[in-house]
Amino acid sequence: MNKIMQVALNATFKPEQVNALMEVIGATPNPEMAVELLLGIYEAPVLLDVADDRGIIKTLISVNHWENNVRYGYDEEKMIRFYILPDQDKSEINLENYEQFEQQWKSGHDLQSVSLPTGEMKHCTGNCDVDQWQRMTSPKVNEGELTI
């Protein structure tokens, strides 16, 4: 890729400038974008504001094209996570009685993990790269049907 970049830059800039430009480009977190900016051909990707990531609706907060990073927000249900004895029936456990079944985790002990939904929601944030965001927002084909 460096040779292609160098040839493209040589077509636009004086040869004595190209080595310095290549050094600067190599120091940027997104060299492809840097070359495209220098050549005047950069087009920022068009990103949709909302993504459906396996049923979790994520909303775009910000984009840093230099770092190829998308920051997004989403809501998820708060969970209480704890351990119980391996022979305990999980269906008997609810928000009112979970503390009586809760076990302290200890290395070497056979316990099972339980996540109990609380009914309360919390707002979370996350990050992904631009390509991942575009995959989450693109139409998906499921069982021969196109869904958006």
Domain limits for position 15: 2-39
Number of domains in the chain: 2
Inside any domain, residue 146: no
Count Cβ neighbours within 10 Å for each residue of 116-131 and write b for 16 or more, e otherwise: eeeeeeeeeeeebebe
Same domain, 19 and 73: no
pLDDT for residue 143 is more than 50: no
Would you place residue 79 in the very low, low, confident or very high pLDDT band (cuts 50, 70, 90)? very high
Percent share of the chain, pLDDT over 90: 72
Same domain, 66 and 117: yes
Same domain, 71 and 121: yes
Q: 53: which 2 tokens?
A: 């990531």
Q: 20: which 2 tokens?
A: 């310095």
Question: Over the stretch 39-56, which tens digit does the pLDDT of each residue have?
Answer: 999 999 999 999 999 889
Same domain, 131 and 80: yes
pTM: 0.71
Inside any domain, residue 148: no
Inside any domain, residue 147: no
If you search the block for the tokens 């077509």, which residue do you land on?
11
CB 23 within 8 A of CB 105: no
Alpha helices in the chain (DSSP H): 2-12, 15-27, 31-39, 98-101, 130-137
Question: Tell me, what's the pLDDT at 4?
Answer: 86
Mean pLDDT of 74-96: 94
Same domain, 73 and 127: yes
Same domain, 102 and 67: yes
